[in-house]
């Protein structure tokens, strides 16, 4: 299909962005099992855990134990989320080689999620990223609410461009732009990505991170692909979402994205059947139905190709 890439890079976020909002705590062994399954399926970038305060996210309180026990596989990157210098020191103490920092393109969400203004949050990351780069870590910059914010309304594309530039200037190697509340639609994604290109943000640095709150996630991926984006965050089973109740939508499901890619001739290196199997297993571990369509369809014996 005209304008579609022949290959995309997936960033699997279920172990961190997915699990962090799950009510049922998984033990470290089960998380290791999940990481193994995801790597076995062919994932090469797996967001592994978070070094935020264990009080804020109890599900990921075992970050050090998890990293110490993890048998890292050659060719697989295991980034972790880091909120500040203290989190970075914790991550460095267990030998991570890639971190992600997370800012917001909107003021309200920055205050709610980070307890700081957007500008203060970005400024606060500058020494974190510098220290990480000094330690030769790869650094990803997350930016939330790039389309709109539930409290502030639409996010100006110019603001997103400015935040992207700041993240790159402080040393981020690449960016993940999140439509955190999932309100965005294809034309809005197209407009944002046009503004980013015009603003000089290289598309090879940009991943898109969509939520399926309004059923738009995969459609937005298609729109982004047509603007040259080739890296997408996705979560096996579609688990995840914001801890704030008003933004309840799950992440884009890895298996639904893989279904699109397989049918449309876009290589990912990730095996659909193994992801579906992992999704079924994860649903049992979490003891609830997961939102992914494809895993449910195949479990219910919907037609194969």
Contacts with a copy of itself by CB under 8 A lie at 1-2, 4, 148-151, 153-154, 181-188, 190-191, 212-216, 218-219, 221-223, 245-249, 253, 256, 259-260, 262-266, 292-294, 297, 300-305
Cβ nearer to a copy of itself, comparing 22 with 98: 22
Cβ nearer to a copy of itself, comparing 98 with 149: 149
Angle at 149 (CA atoms; ends 144, 153), nearest 5 degrees: 145
Question: Least Å distance between CB 141 and a copy of itself?
Answer: 23
Distance CA 23, CA 44 (A): 27
Scan for tokens 């732009």, then name that residue.
177
Question: Least Å distance between CB 42 and a copy of itself?
Answer: 19
Cβ nearer to a copy of itself, comparing 166 with 268: 268
Question: Least Å distance between CB 264 and a copy of itself?
Answer: 3
Question: Least Å distance between CB 297 and a copy of itself?
Answer: 5
Cβ nearer to a copy of itself, comparing 214 with 281: 214
Cβ nearer to a copy of itself, comparing 54 with 269: 269
Question: Least Å distance between CB 157 and a copy of itself?
Answer: 14
Cβ nearer to a copy of itself, comparing 6 with 115: 6
Q: Are 205 and 173 in contact (CB under 8 A)?
A: yes
Inter-CA distances, 11 with 48, 149, 235, 284, Å? 11, 24, 8, 23
H or E element in which residue 107 lies: helix 107-114
Question: Least Å distance between CB 215 and a copy of itself?
Answer: 3
Distance CA 154, CA 147 (A): 6
Give how far the C-alpha of residue 129 lies from the chain's centroid of Cα atoms, to the nearest Å: 18
Q: Are 196 and 160 in contact (CB under 8 A)?
A: yes
Distance CA 231, CA 185 (A): 18
Residue environment code for 17-36, b if the CB has 16+ CB neighbours within 10 A, otherwise e: bbbbbbeeebebeebbbbbe
Question: Least Å distance between CB 183 and a copy of itself?
Answer: 6
Nearest to 7 by CA among 276, 185, 229, 235: 229
Cβ nearer to a copy of itself, comparing 136 with 305: 305
């Amino acid at each position: 299909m005209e304008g579609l890439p022949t290959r995309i890079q997936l960033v699997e976020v279920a172990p961190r962005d997915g699990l962090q909002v799950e009510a049922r705590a998984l033990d470290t062994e089960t998380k290791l099992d999940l990481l193994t399954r995801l790597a076995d399926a062919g994932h090469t970038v797996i967001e592994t855990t978070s070094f935020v305060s264990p009080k804020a996210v109890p599900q990921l309180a075992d970050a050090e134990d998890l990293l110490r026990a993890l048998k890292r596989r050659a060719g697989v990157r295991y980034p972790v989320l880091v909120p500040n210098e203290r989190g970075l020191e914790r991550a460095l103490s267990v030998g991570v080689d890639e971190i992600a920092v997370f800012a917001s393109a909107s003021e309200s969400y920055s205050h709610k999620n980070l307890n700081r203004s957007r500008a203060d949050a970005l400024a606060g990351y500058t020494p974190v990223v510098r220290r990480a780069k000094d330690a030769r870590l790869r650094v990803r910059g997350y930016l939330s609410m790039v389309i709109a914010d539930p409290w502030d309304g639409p996010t100006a594309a110019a603001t997103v461009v400015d935040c992207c530039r700041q993240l790159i200037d402080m040393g981020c190697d690449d960016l993940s732009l999140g439509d955190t509340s999932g309100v965005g639609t294809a034309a809005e994604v197209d407009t944002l990505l046009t503004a980013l290109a015009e603003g000089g943000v290289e598309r090879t640095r940009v991943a898109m991170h969509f939520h399926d709150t309004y059923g738009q996630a995969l459609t937005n991926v298609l729109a982004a692909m047509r603007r040259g984006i080739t890296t997408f965050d996705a979560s096996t089973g579609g688990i995840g979402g914001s801890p704030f109740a008003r933004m309840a939508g799950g992440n884009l499901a890895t298996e639904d994205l893989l279904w699109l890619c397989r049918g449309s001739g876009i290589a990912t290196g990730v095996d659909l059947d193994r992801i579906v199997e992992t999704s079924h297993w994860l649903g049992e571990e979490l003891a609830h139905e997961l939102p992914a369509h494809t895993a449910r369809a195949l479990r219910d014996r919907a037609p194969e190709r």
